[in-house]
Homo-oligomer: A and B are copies of this chain.
């Protein structure tokens, strides 16, 4: 008997193993839905798959009568734009601030506590303030994402920078590097893979904040739609929308993972599997 830790499934086995849990979940849902429908034919909570499919196809392919737009497409585009702006700004801010905090002891001392405190402020709680400062337009939605997502990126990037062996920073200086060129040529390239990893980790929270912002003030977007129909518990809309959001997030995650592995192959050589 080999030790469990040494049992490595082959390619086919891994694929199979990855799929099985999803199949189980799907089966549980179908059974639960059927049961509730049997008890109450009007049950809205766990609509059967057929009903969700019908709703989805209506939202994804038929233009809305009033606006003439295809609802799902319009919602997705609106949300993705906000998400991209929010995540983009947050990533940029996170990188710049994180590197500054990590490389420059003076900035680290001055900003470290501030960032630590800011990252602890629950963004939802200050949402009313944000809306009042930035209005109810696109800006406040993007800002909420930035406020929610940037602080953890800043803190983690700062930590990543500090985990670069001192030897390397010293070596760079002996090669004639200034603080700036050390950052540009030594610190930044080594931090980028982690940055992508962080963006991946923040996709979930970013969607969370996006949905929260869209729930309160918006006229389009995935979160807007979910909260609009949530009042009527229209799970036949909510569940496909949640699945769609999850799929988008998952694909984004996958793309970023691919990007990181192709752009920064050197950082992934040590991976065991």
Q: Which A residues fall within an 8 A CB radius of B?
A: 3-9, 13-14, 17-18, 20-22, 45-46, 103-106, 108-114, 116-117, 119-126, 128-129, 132, 148, 151-152, 155-156, 162-163, 166, 169, 173, 178-179, 182, 201, 203-205, 207-208, 211-212, 215, 223, 226, 230, 233, 235, 238, 241-242, 245-246, 249-250, 253, 270-273
Contact = CB atoms under 8 A, between A and B. Distances in A.
A125 B226 contact: yes
A59 B90 CA distance: 36
A205 to B, nearest CB: 7
For this chain, the copies found in one complex come to 2
Contact of A110 (B21, B156, B204): B21
A132 B124 CA distance: 24
Contact of A22 (B114, B166, B173): B114
Contact of A5 (B8, B151, B182): B182
Tell which of A105, A106, A113, A212 has the most Cβ of chain B within 10 Å. A105
Contact of A103 (B5, B211, B212): B5
B4 A106 contact: yes
13 contacts: A3-B182, A4-B179, A7-B106, A9-B105, A9-B106, A22-B117, A108-B273, A116-B253, A119-B204, A122-B242, A125-B241, A205-B205, A212-B212
Tell which of A5, A111, A241, A272 has the most Cβ of chain B within 10 Å. A5
Nearest to A230: B128
A34 to B, nearest CB: 16
A188 to B, nearest CB: 13
Contacts of A5: 103-105, 169, 179, 182
A124 B212 contact: yes
A240 to B, nearest CB: 11
B152 A120 contact: no
Contact of A4 (B104, B110, B116, B270): B104
B45 A129 contact: yes
Contact of A162 (B119, B126, B273): B273
A253 B112 CA distance: 13
Contacts of A8: 105-106
Contacts of A117: 22, 246, 250
Contact of A246 (B110, B121, B148): B121
